[in-house]
Copies of this chain bind each other. A is one copy, B any other.
Amino acid sequence: MLTDSSQIDNYRQSFPALSNKAYFNYGGQGPLSQPAWTAIQKAYEFVQQTGPFSNAAGSWVATQVTKTRQAIGADLGVAPATITLTEAVSVGCNIALWGIDWQPGDHLLISDCEHYGIVAAAEQIGRRFGVEISILPLLNNPDDPVEILANHLQPQTRMLVISHILWNTGQVLPLAEMVKLCHSQQRSVAVLVDAAQSVGVLPLNLEQLGADFYAFTGHKWYCGPDGLGGLYIHPAALASLEPSFVGWRSVINDPVNNKIDWKPDGRRFEIATSAFPLCAGLQAALDLHQTWGSQQDRYRRIVELGRYLWRRLVDLSGVTCLLETPPEAGLVSFQTPGRSHQQLVQQLEQQQIMVRSIPSPDCVRTCVHYFTLESECDRLVEAIASYLQGKSSEI
């Protein structure tokens, strides 16, 4: 684990995006490291050199796809066969949502802290299949999510849709307990997790965690390229999930191209051509994290920095943090009652400090990664203080 500040400065130089700004939007999109970008460039060049469409280029692409699934599996503590590569978190969620054999009258429970893209997907399942949707109220009940969940499961509930780390408040949910509760119902309830904010942050062992479907992306906390993510499907849940959108990557064919069967694993949910050079980029992004320290080390540092920023914000007059207790991850959201959040975000961006506003609840969200600097946090807090004091603060 790098602790020496010159080592950290050196490490941060791997990320060109960090050279000209204080960056707090890891939960939106992580910066692409130079090694990841170089790997992508080399991949494009190699494909053009050997193809682009040829046996040699095709073999290389197949290897990259395999290695990407392996690298992700290693990070999540699961076999590569449990990983489906996708374009984005939402695609993974849609694969799980559309793969269930829904019957009219089935019930889907979704928390009130889910990203609106996932909410739209769940609502469309409701419309298309006559599934009843109801809301698990976590926002105003942060203290015991398991008890709240117990009160909202119904006999006809078939699926819970929930984030591991809430994208708005930053709360880390006790997911293992919630999964256990869902699976212990008379009719087992499948759990679909939006892992946009947890993959690349929490040390994970997904098989132990037990969630049926865990959808993530490479372009946020992993700091890989946008357009490449994945879906973990628990081995016990694979048989329950029908493929929906499918293509040549989903199937095994006989020599005259008649489909014999689905691919035996998560690949059956992959569709067709993707931006394959990005696979090299995501692998390089994952490799780079490991040079800094173990998952545990990185997570510990994220929490330290999250708590440092949270405490500084709690101490700031005119600021209310959404979490009332110190964060257990890197998301720190706050409100500035009576003062516009969007204007604050814009003013910070003019000073090259990147945060974002969240519409529900109306707030400003900041994210710290393990390689965030305390001095960056200080700069952010001071700029917020200036804004609240009404100074124009053009640094």
Contacts and interface: CB of A to CB of B under 8 A. Distances in A.
A243 to B, nearest CB: 6
Nearest to A99: B128
A31 B48 contact: yes
B29 A248 contact: no
B53 A272 contact: no
Interface stretch (A74-82, A118-126, A302-310, A318-326): A118-126
A362 B271 CA distance: 24
A354 interface: yes
A244 B256 CA distance: 31
A115 B248 contact: yes
Interface string A269-284: 0011111111000000
Contacts of A255: 359
A248 B52 contact: no
Contacts of A124: 242-244, 246
Interface string A111-141: 0000111111101100110000000000000
A25 B48 contact: no
Interface string A343-362: 00110010000101001101
B29 A272 contact: no
Interface residues on A, range: 35 or more
A105 interface: no
Contacts of A49: 16-17, 20
Given A52-B31, A346-B55, A272 B25 contact: no
Contacts of A127: 242
Contact of A56 (B225, B226, B349): B349
A246 B117 contact: yes
Given A120-B259, A349-B56, A32 B17 contact: no
Contacts of A346: 55
Contacts of A119: 259
Interface string A328-347: 00000000000000000110
Given A16-B48, A53-B356, A98-B244, A88 B120 contact: no
Residue of A124, A247, A346 with most partner-chain B CB within 10 A: A247
A54 B56 CA distance: 39
A227 interface: yes
B25 A53 contact: yes
Interface stretch (A5-13, A89-97, A292-300): A89-97
A245 B94 contact: yes
B228 A354 contact: no
A219 interface: yes
Nearest to A245: B94
Contacts of A31: 48, 52
A32 B239 CA distance: 40
A250 interface: yes
10 A-B pairs with least C-beta separation: A227-B275, A28-B53, A90-B247, A117-B248, A90-B272, A117-B247, A25-B53, A94-B245, A29-B53, A88-B272
Given A17-B48, A25-B54, 11 more contacts: A17-B52, A51-B354, A54-B354, A88-B247, A89-B272, A91-B272, A94-B271, A98-B244, A116-B258, A117-B251, A120-B251
